[in-house]
Amino acid sequence: MQSITLTTADSLPLDACLFEPEQGVEIKGGVIINAATGVKQAFYSRFANHLAAQGYVVLTYDYRGIGESVSLALNDKRLSMQAWGEQDFPAAIDWATDAYPSLNWHCIGHSVGGQIIGLAHNHHKLTSSFGVAAQSGNWRNWALKHQLSFAPVCYVVIPLLSRLFGYFPGAIMGGEHLPKHVALEWARWCRHRDYITDKNGKAYRPYFSDINMPMHFLVVDDDLQFAPEKAVKALSEFYENADTSLSVTTQEERHNSFFGHFGFFRTPAKDTLWPKATAWFEKHDSVNTEIKTRKS
């Protein structure tokens, strides 16, 4: 693993890590991992090492305001989910495709990481994406019993605490502190039927319809609290011109254990679910006999 720094178009530094296959391992392609909301890139390091062992160059990074990418006060207006998609993810794509121009680059989008693909102006540099529990956060996509707990969070808890503290306390959601405007924007999106919207409440889809690459959406069957199947399917429909597909995990693939929103990236999923991602990438890697090396 090698630590690197990405620089966004609006000149913010982002902490990132590069995972490369060992010498002698044939390089098959590249993968950018987009994290879930409030989750540090370090959480994905085991999965990234696994992909590297399978022949993939992997780039992980922390969004602005998360993990090691905290260069601004948490109440700074430049910290937003929209900026994650319009500034941070494009910076990762540009770095990866410039450093390894001969590779086919794919994206793993966990939760919000699958949503922001449609906000990136340079999405065309990607070959495919594989979404893990990536969903439309509109609370109406949840089962009634989960709506009763989720809706109050969107309408009251997040707005109230974010304005009170200048950030949303991460302990409540089990992750990092969320910058104030990330949290407020997220809550606003979740309250709206169109989910990703502008400040006037209009659906915001700058590049979603331009994307025509293969996109797979994996539903974790017991992830009822954060990404139920209806919500995942709803997000897949945002990408109206992409070649989308959807699959659902099984109890057997989870070893009859609880995986929830984060279990895909933990070691128990290594033998059953991780191969689904590598098989997807291999399926969409075009044959290329050119020696694939990083530019000096």
Q: What is the pLDDT along the chain (296 residues), one digit of tens a residue?
A: 999 999 999 999 999 999 999 999 999 999 999 999 999 999 999 999 999 999 999 999 999 999 999 999 999 999 999 999 999 999 999 999 999 999 999 999 999 999 999 999 999 999 999 999 999 999 999 999 999 999 999 999 999 999 999 999 987 877 789 999 999 999 999 999 999 999 999 999 999 999 999 999 999 999 999 999 999 999 999 999 999 999 999 999 999 999 999 999 999 999 999 999 999 999 998 644 333 445 43
Host H or E run for residue 33: strand 29-34
Instruction: Tell me the backbone φ, ψ of residue 168, rounded to 5 degrees.
Output: -100, 120
pLDDT of residue 58: 98
pLDDT of residue 8: 98
pTM exceeds cut of 0.85: yes
The one-letter amino acid at 173: M
pLDDT of residue 173: 74
Distance of CA 28 to the CA centre of its chain: 22
Whether residue 282 contacts residue 216, with contact meaning beta carbons closer than 8 Å, is answered with: no
Find tokens 């304005």 and name the residue: 163
pLDDT of residue 286: 65
Residue 34: CB atoms within 10 Å: 30
Q: How far apart are CA 169 and CA 255, in angstroms?
A: 33
Q: How far apart are CA 277 and CA 254, in angstroms?
A: 15
Question: Which value, to the nearest 10 degrees, does the dihedral of the CA atoms of residues 29, 117, 182, 63 take?
Answer: 20
Strand partners, 58: 19, 31
Distance of CA 289 to the CA centre of its chain: 30
Contacts of 125 (CB under 8 A, 6+ apart): 93, 94, 97, 105
Q: Which pair of tokens denotes residue 65? A: 């305001």
Q: Is 249 helix (H, G, I), strand (E, B) or coil?
A: coil
Q: How far apart are CA 123 and CA 121, in angstroms?
A: 6
pLDDT of residue 287: 41
